[in-house]
Amino acid sequence: MTTIVGKDFSDDYFTIDGDIDDEVDYWPFNDNNKAVLLFSDGTKTDVVYDGVWKFPIINRGCALKEVVAEDPDEDIGERLVFDSTLQWVEFQIFRNGVLQKTQTFKRQ
C-alpha cells in the first residue's frame, strides 16, 4: 500500500508513505506554479496547498482505493490511499505552463 499524505504542520512538503516512501519538497506559494502528481495506474492529481494539502483528482486509476478527507485533530491533510500494485509516483512542477521539474519515486 502507498499513501500520499499532506502534513498540515508543513507548508513546503508532503509525504509518500508505504511501498513507495519519500518526501516531496514543494513551495506552493508562487502564483505562476502548478504541480501535479502522476501515478503508474493512470491516476493524475493536482497538488494544492491552501492551509491544508489537497490532491484534487483529474483522472482516477485502478490502484486508487480511497480518498481520505483531512483530519484537523491529527494535523493531517487529505490522503490518497493506493493498493500494492502501484509502481511509481511522478511529481511535476510547471511554471507559466512550462514543465520545470520532474521527480520520480519508485517502489523499492
What does the pLDDT look like over 32-42, one tens digit per residue? 889 999 999 99
pLDDT score, position 8: 64
Burial call 64-94: b when 16+ CB within 10 Å, e when fewer: beebeebeeeeebbbbbbbeeebeebebbbe
pLDDT score, position 9: 67
DSSP tag of 71: B
pLDDT score, position 18: 95
Ranges under pLDDT 50 in the chain: none
